[in-house]
Chain A
Amino acid sequence: MCRLFSITSKEPLSPMVALEALDVMREGHDCSGVGIFLRDLSGPFEEMKDAPILSGIFSEKGLRRLDSFMMDIGFMTKYKITIKVPKQPPPGVPKRDIYLIRAYEYPEEWDDLSQEALYDRLLEIRLQLRLMGEEKNDMIVFSFWPDVIMIKEIGDPMLVAEHLKLDRKELHARVIMAQGRQNTNYAITLYACHPFFIQGYSTMTNGENTAFIPIKAYLESRGFPGYMGYQSDSEVLTHILHYTIKKLGLGIEAYKHIITPLQDGALQEHPDAIFLKNLKQTCRQLIIDGPNCVIGCMPDHSVFMVQDRKKLRPGVVGGKPGIYAFASEICGLDAAIPNRDKNRDFQPMHLDTAIVGPERQEVKIWNQSDPLPLLH
């Protein structure tokens, strides 16, 4: 099993807050890897919210190939964080040349592109880099998106953090998601490490998505280039979120209705029964059949947790206005926000989606049997 932790705070925080919370929950994961997602960045990136940031791991050769590739398109480096690692990595952590976090200036020709077209191109470039890297085994790319940094590595999270010196000012962020295990259900590869990211949407998951293969086949056949390369059964959950919002034009409340719809009896009593019945049938191929607890982050910086129908995975949300955290276990929450009102902690159950909006003022609980706000 893996452990998840996510925090959203008005004041920028060090990624170490999340990693320490993971460490407290270490009985529940095997410390085999770490994945971190940072958004709403502070420090140097505060000034360049629109600049796309490339996160990944490169060999020397890979970096040279990256540079010429980006230059050909017309991207100029605007800012970069250089992570210098000691020659000898700690035990269990592979030796790498470069951990890259680099913000770019858009090519001039892109100035007139619509937001949509721009975002499609960013995705296209990330996929191209991924394929190039897979071909020569010299680059791994996690994200290429404004105001987002992702870091993933195999090994004990605390050792990795020390090795990469993650406790640095440039990496402070207001939204942090972290996960403490390599994927064990399928092959060990960094592309299988949570959180996953696509066009501004990111999720990580606890538990195994048993319907992975049919869902993967379904997403791959949607004709959208980003729905590819599935190395983990959890990655489809990120893509379903993207599909729900970007392709179907629905809100976060519909996400749960797609991945884990109401059973027929409850559906019939729902005020939006007709809509939901249609949704359940037409999206039947996207039912996850968990057990899964999903934590995700939306482009508007809201963070959410959703449980599947089985509710066999732990998950809790708590905090106070200005700072809220989602964790697999209460001890993780205690470590990050000790002085909160614990009576207000909430453990989402089989019908719940818990959302903390970008204002970070409260936890909104949205119950699946509630009327949908999205039908306008």
Chain B
Amino acid sequence: MDAPTSVYKAYYGIRQKTDPAYKCVGCAMCNMVCPNDAITPICGDEADKLRYHIDRGGQPRRRGGRRNVAGGILDRLKFIRISMLTDPALDAGRHEFELRTLLGRVLPPEENLKFLRTNGWIPPVREIYPLIIGSMSFGALSPTMWEGLQMGVAYLNEELGMPVRVCTGEGGCPPRLLRSRFLKYVILQIASGYFGWDEIIHAIPEMKEDPCAIEIKYGQGAKPGDGGLLMWYKVNQLIAAIRGVPTGINLPSPPTHQTQYSIEESVAKMIQSMYMAWGFRVPVYPKISGTSTALAVLNNLTRNPYAAGLAIDGEDGGTGAAYNVSMNHMGHPIATNIRDSYLNLVALGMQNQVPLFAGGGVGKTGNLAANAAALIMLGASGVQIGKYIMQAAAGCLGSESDRCNICNIGLCPKGITSQDPRLYRRLDVEDVAQRVVDVFLSFDTELKKIVAPLGRSTSLPIGMSDALGIDDYDAAQRLQIKYVV
């Protein structure tokens, strides 16, 4: 038989890739490159089916971002005590304010004055702005993002007189920053991988300034019970050099500090050794993830005369990389953790001695100042933000409906959490710095708009729980605030 003269074949114009590794993350870059603006990512109105398939190779899903749950109790707290006639309301725009907080172990008055008279050791205490940029490591963040944050913070301090502090996260600190005067705006973090500490220790003799403080990370709200997780994609030469590791390997930090088995002994020793490294001039405090055992940790710290505070990172905290299951299901809400801890300190009469710092989802829905003020009135001395500043200062797309959240694999479409110069060049350092300044200035105004009507201006309303109300009876009981409907 003759060969057929015509052959019919199906031709696929688009070769679809259905492997989960190629899923659309909603970065919207397609939209930016389409000349006709004809394409845009839209999330289906049904829950994705991808979630059942995203464990290829037997690897559970890992991602960046926050717990994929919208909202939270912080947004429901209202400020109900308004000064009007019993005492004059203050003018948030024109009155003088001093909204500072203390980071460091504050001695009780009797002891402090005695030590002052007798030349005893008074622990170092820093007066800082109550909103802190929490720990995001050099490595998790791109060089442009990190530099932008540092520049913004330096500007806030040196030009605007706002003592804002930024924490390095566990990834060391660039050598030039360690040797610059800007180090005083930086809180150095040490965590279980001790990444970067070789460099830091070696730089100590050459430091012009002491760092603001040392944060010892024992836990993180986004991945309680898990250590840091910098994945190999992001470990390039620069990151490897600063961290003191080979390139191109995963850098999982252990869940716990390997040398530590008891809080009484080894944590105390670690705190003390860090004090020793800087001649007892730098406050050292631990950070833990929100947990039902927070009080046990706190109680121990109250008995350790060196502990300079306690940072608690609630379940809504963000991260650059964690197991999806840790992020979504592990952890403790920050509100009750802070409230219980504060009331515990009150019962001990130590509410001014061990400052508490709250983090984890602060400003998650955009209400940064309101969330921060609520936590302060519940008892926090200050709050830490991470994800919020990525969203506000660099346009992070991540959301609680699981958009993007690929910070862990170094493909950040915005260049925030990528180590690939082709991506991180998308981020302009100056723009980030500018936005950091914007965020703090507007936060400051909003915070004043909250505290001024409460009649407060000369001190932060730490523990001013009479100003708080909520429309949920059980929550009000639990937090010991007013139930209002």
Contact = CB atoms under 8 A, between A and B. Distances in A.
A281 B464 contact: no
B88 interface: yes
Contact of B88 (A184, A185, A279, A291): A291
A106 interface: no
B98 A264 contact: yes
B325 interface: no
A210 B346 contact: no
Contact of B466 (A212, A275, A279): A212
A278 B459 contact: no
Given A210-B87, A264-B100, A278-B112, A285 B461 contact: no
Interface string B332-347: 0000000000000011
A282 B351 CA distance: 11
A274 B125 CA distance: 13
A285 B102 CA distance: 11
Interface stretch (A63-71, A170-178, A214-222): A214-222
Interface string A271-288: 000110011011111010
B348 interface: yes
Contact of B463 (A213, A222, A261, A275): A213
Given A213-B464, A217-B351, A248 B113 contact: yes
B352 interface: yes
A310 interface: yes
A211 B464 contact: yes
Contacts of B236: none
A278 B120 CA distance: 13
A217 B480 CA distance: 13
A217 B458 contact: no
A208 B83 contact: yes
Nearest to A254: B113
B98 A278 contact: no
Residue of B83, B88, B95, B348 with highest tally of chain A CB at under 10 A: B88
A309 interface: yes
B461 A211 contact: yes
Interface residues of A, number: 38
A287 B351 contact: no
A221 B347 contact: yes
Interface in B87-127: 87-88, 90, 95-96, 98, 100, 102, 106-110, 112-113, 116, 122, 125, 127
Interface in A203-237: 207-208, 210-214, 217-218, 221-223
Contact of B106 (A214, A284, A289): A284
A263 interface: yes
Given A263-B96, A278-B116, A285 B351 contact: yes
User: In this complex, which of B83, B348, B458 has the most chain A Cβ atoms within 10 angstroms of its Cβ?
Assistant: B458
Contact of B112 (A184, A217, A282): A282
B144 interface: no
Interface string B456-479: 111101111110000000000000
Contacts of A281: 102, 106, 112, 125, 127
Contacts of A263: 96, 98, 458
Given A208-B83, A208-B87, A282 B463 contact: no
A208 B456 CA distance: 11
Interface of A is mostly: loop
A311 B454 CA distance: 17
B351 A275 contact: no
Given A223-B349, A278-B116, A289-B455, A248 B463 contact: no
A264 B459 CA distance: 12
A202 interface: no
A136 interface: no
A207 to B, nearest CB: 6
Contact of B459 (A211, A222, A282): A211
Contacts of A260: 458
Interface string B294-333: 0000000000000000000000000000000000000000
B109 A214 contact: no
B86 interface: yes
A93 interface: no
A309 B347 CA distance: 30
B98 A282 contact: no
Contacts of A87: none
A264 B128 CA distance: 12
A207 B459 CA distance: 17
B14 to A, nearest CB: 64
B457 to A, nearest CB: 7
B110 A248 contact: yes
Nearest to B163: A264
Contacts of A275: 116
B158 to A, nearest CB: 16
A85 interface: no
Contact of A284 (B102, B348, B349): B102
Given A222-B349, A264-B100, A281-B106, A214 B456 contact: no
Contacts of A264: 98, 100, 127
Contacts of B347: 221
A312 B461 contact: no
A260 B456 CA distance: 12
Contact of A287 (B95, B455, B459): B459
A16 to B, nearest CB: 29
B204 to A, nearest CB: 26
Contacts of A309: 457-458
Given A184-B86, A222-B349, A282-B112, 5 more contacts: A210-B455, A249-B113, A274-B116, A282-B106, A310-B457
Interface of B: 83, 86-88, 90, 95-96, 98, 100, 102, 106-110, 112-113, 116, 122, 125, 127, 346-352, 454-459, 461-466
- Which 6 pairs from chain A and chain B are nearest by CB? A210-B455, A221-B349, A208-B87, A282-B112, A287-B459, A214-B463
